[in-house]
Amino acid sequence: MKKYLFTPGPVPVPEEILLEMARPIIHHRTADFEKIFAEVRDGLKYVFQTKEEVFVLASSGTGAMEGAVANTLSSGDKALVVDGGKFGERWTKICKAFGVEVEEIKVEWGEAVDPNLIKDALKKDPSIRAVLMQSSETSTGVMHPTKEIAAITRERDDVILIVDGITAVGVFPLPFDELRIDVLVAGSQKAFMLPPGLAFASMSGKAWKFRERSDLPKFYFDFKRYLKDAKDNTTPWTPPVALVIGLAAVLKNYKNEGLEKIHKRHATLAQGTREAIKAIGLELYAKDSPSTALTAAVSPPGIGAGKIISGLRERFGMTVAGGQDQAKGKIFRISHMGFIDRSDIIAVISAIECVLRDLGHKFDFGAGTKKASEILGAE
Amino acid sequence: MKKYLFTPGPVPVPEEILLEMARPIIHHRTADFEKIFAEVRDGLKYVFQTKEEVFVLASSGTGAMEGAVANTLSSGDKALVVDGGKFGERWTKICKAFGVEVEEIKVEWGEAVDPNLIKDALKKDPSIRAVLMQSSETSTGVMHPTKEIAAITRERDDVILIVDGITAVGVFPLPFDELRIDVLVAGSQKAFMLPPGLAFASMSGKAWKFRERSDLPKFYFDFKRYLKDAKDNTTPWTPPVALVIGLAAVLKNYKNEGLEKIHKRHATLAQGTREAIKAIGLELYAKDSPSTALTAAVSPPGIGAGKIISGLRERFGMTVAGGQDQAKGKIFRISHMGFIDRSDIIAVISAIECVLRDLGHKFDFGAGTKKASEILGAE
């Protein structure tokens, strides 16, 4: 059976990139590798829309999240965490593990945070040193208003904005320099359409000032070491050479396609998926601010999401993601990040229609596929 | 030009493993992946010679070293570090970054530590809580006496032995349970003949007791999370799926070959390389305890190692490693770990002979190749 991967990370990897990474391994302290790494640095700055260095870490995105905290904050600092899903919770856990005090803005799963809550919290408590958030909360498929929140934090010299852009960078516009985000992290297995194993992070000048006074222990994720070695086109520790080579190839394609077009592609696929899901008679889990990275659909009453997920897997070879924690069994999530095109979305919508019909859900069979086809148009 | 990689990590990756990793990516929360991960757990226990869990980390070996410290020690604890090279120094740097006090046993580069120094230091200072060492110090090509040191630490309930086995595990016998090592770390790009990007770590029961009182901050490298999730055949954070799939294939081959045979293969290649280097009239950098993982050769008087290295690269397509820090320009290092066979060693020795002759080194041309051929024999 042909296999289709619609999970919000890992995402499918283009065949030519898989083969690029299957080339014989080279050593990382050679002119050949340094040339590739120079291209990678340049390409990452292009995607992050920044003049700052973007660090290449051998870790999952969570490692870069830990680095973001450990490089900027100090023990006893207070952090304001936007907690509207599993990854928001992760910010809290990381801060607490490192002795950073946390004030949480609890957001109902499926909802986006109101930027005024952040403005108020910062006004009320001048001891807050950082706002931590997800630009796209992968567990709920919600997009938080990063631009609006950045407009608040950039007015304050004593507060930094730390953004998890793991399912955002390369998906929708998140211009690091323009918005004045202070730390932004991303991961290879999302819009970068690579296997998992690399994470990325960038820091603003303001964040580097925080770095100077930061007393949290750091070694493997010490961004200062990465900054120093990046100038020599290398990393402080042995990099995942094959993934870096794949990344260079992806970034070359990205420059050719152009960032604006990449963002537009994702936006169109997201819109087509959302409207199709609604045409099938399902609700979106993200009430008012759905993410461009993935669509979380609520399972119809009386039908567990697990049945939809297993139907897609067993009958159509398609892997979609379920819900996590409180959303488990209630939702299923379809990614449209990276190496996903119009035909993939038409195919998964059609398969969802078949599975739902056979599970007894009443709807206008074919309406979802038709809607997706209308919106996604043709090249 | 055909390319040959003789660096002590990364090492060449077998073609069939490269292709295995080039297969379409799968999601890590699926039955398919869990089945593979179960095989990996089993295979890693086999290579580590342990009944304990072996954790699979998305990081370089340095990440696992940080985890070894952060999971067992506490702020203000005193650690005894065997510092006989660049990686010994790394233990000190990690400890200091985490607020662990360090007492160093400085060992001349190229020499192995005398276990009596450790016995004496522990006797003299009962406040020492851990001994940290390299089983094989990659920067000098020296093997430290792990077995003898483990015999000292296992007599003490209040001292653990933390071993960097990055160029040791899978190379020579280092039975975790039998020796009663407490924390052992390894990396994918060494004997495991994979690209860099994975690190491994295991902890003894004694180390877990240390874990209970450890107050150092840890999140990404929190081994307790890895232990919990390993039972469900998964990892706490998204694993580098492609590398894990490659690892499963390597471990399957390892079980077929058998650990004893793998160790013997490495020992023979090491002996052949060493004797050939001596036959060419070069000194070994490791005076009395050369590592089975790599051979560090001292450049002849008047000939900089850089010239040998560039000659091998430019004329023979061969990458060997230079010396680091104080050994820079003085030595070159040839790895015989992982996917390296008799023919590779014959080829590199022959190339070294050609380069050295043309650089004016006087020796019995052909003696090195002959010696290697004698020792390495035939299958």
Work out the angle at residue A103's Cα, subtended by the Cα atoms of residues A154 and A96, and round it to the nearest 5 degrees.
Answer: 105
| Res. A379 pLDDT band, cuts 50 70 90 | low
Residue A117 contacts residue A105 (beta carbons within 8 Å) = yes
Chain B nearest-CA distance from A154, in A, is 29
Is the per-residue pLDDT at B341 higher than 80?
Answer: yes
- Digit-coded pLDDT (tens) for B196-225: 999 999 999 999 999 999 999 999 999 999
CATH architecture, domain A4-9+258-376? Alpha-Beta Complex (3.90)
How many Å apart are CA B38 and CA A246, to the nearest integer?
28
Q: How far apart are CA A100 and CA A103, in angstroms?
A: 10
Average pLDDT of the segment spanning A173-181: 98
pLDDT tens for each residue of A311-355 = 999 999 999 999 999 999 999 999 999 999 999 999 999 999 999
> How far is residue B31 from each of residues A319, B38, B242, measured CA to CA in Å?
11, 10, 16
3-state SS, residue A73 = coil
Query: In this model, does residue A92 exceed pLDDT 60?
Result: yes
CA distance B236 to chain A (A): 10
Q: Which of B107, B141, B139, B137 is nearest to B121 (CA)?
A: B107
Domain A15-257, CATH: 3.40.640.10
% of chain B exceeding 90 in pLDDT: 99
What is the average per-residue pLDDT within B283-296? 97
Residue B328 pLDDT greater than 90, yes or no: yes
Start-to-end Cα distance in chain A: 28
Give the minimum alpha-carbon distance from A83 to chain B in angstroms, rounded to a whole number.
18
**Do the beta carbons of residue B286 and residue B110 sit within 8 Å?**
yes
Nearest Cα to B12, choosing from B237, B296, B348?
A: B348
CA distance B330 to B318: 19
CA distance A275 to A260: 22
Q: How confident is the model at residue B288 (pLDDT cuts 50, 70, 90)?
A: very high
Phi, psi of A40 (to 5 degrees): -65, -45
Alpha-carbon span B357 to B349, nearest angstrom: 12
Structure tokens at B185: 């770390």
Average pLDDT, integer, range B276-289: 97
pLDDT above 60: residue A303: yes
Torsion (CA) A170, A175, A181, A183 in degrees, nearest 10: 30
Q: What is the mean pLDDT of residues A155-164?
A: 98
Q: Nearest chain A Cα to B20, which residue? A: A22
Residue-level pLDDT at A377: 84
Confidence of residue A52 (pLDDT cuts 50, 70, 90): very high
Give the Å distances, CA to CA, from A334 to A7, A363, A376, B236: 6, 20, 16, 22
Tracing tokens 């860099």 back to the chain, one arrives at B196
Sign of the torsion angle spanned by Cα atoms B109, B114, B119, B121: negative
Listed by start position, the domains of chain A span 4-9+258-376, 15-257
| Contact residues on chain A for B28, CB-CB shorter than 8 A | 10, 196
Q: What is the pLDDT of residue B363?
A: 98
User: How confident is the model over B51-62, as a mean pLDDT?
Assistant: 98
The mean pLDDT of B110-127, rounded to a whole number, is: 98
ipTM: 0.95
Provide, as residue numbers in chain A, all residues whose Cβ is less than 8 Å from the Cβ of B23. 18
Of A11, A195, A219, the CB nearest to B242: A195
Mean of all residue pLDDT scores within chain B: 97
Phi, psi of B327 (to 5 degrees): -95, 0
Distance from CA of A72 to the nearest CA of B (A): 15
CB pairs < 8 Å spanning A and B: 174
| pLDDT per residue as tens digits for the range B226-239 | 999 999 999 999 99
Task: Find the residue in B nearest to A96 (Cα).
Answer: B217
- For A66, the closest chain B residue by CA position comes to B220
H helical segments located in A109-145: 115-124
> What number is the average pLDDT over the span B111-137?
98
Q: What is the pLDDT of residue B379?
A: 55
- Which chain B residue's Cα is nearest to A222? B97
Contact B150, B168 (CB under 8 A): no
Residues on chain B touching A59 (C-beta within 8 angstroms): 58-59, 63, 220, 237
Q: Which of B5, B197, B220 faces A240 most closely, judged by CB atoms? A: B197
CB contact under 8 A, B196 and A12: no
Helices B241-257 and B31-48: angle between axes, nearest 10 degrees: 50
**Chain A closest CA to B102's CA: distance in Å?**
16
Selecting from B27, B59, B189 the residue whose C-beta is nearest the C-beta of A59 gives: B59
Distance in angstroms (rounded) separating the CA atoms of residues B128 and A281: 66
Chain A CB contacts of B187 under 8 Å are 238
Nearest to B21 among A22, A61, A187 (CB): A22
Task: Examine the pLDDT at A119 and tell me if it is beyond 80.
Answer: yes
Q: Are B240 and A240 inside 8 Å of each other by CB?
A: yes
At B78, the amino acid letter reads: K
Q: Pick from B5, B9, B220: which is nearest to A63 by CB? A: B220
Look at A30 and B319 and tell me if their CB atoms are within 8 Å: yes
Mutate to test the interface with A, among B30, B219, B334 (most CBs of A within 10 A): B219
Start-to-end CA distance of chain B, whole Å, equals 28
What's the Rg (C-alpha) of chain A? 21
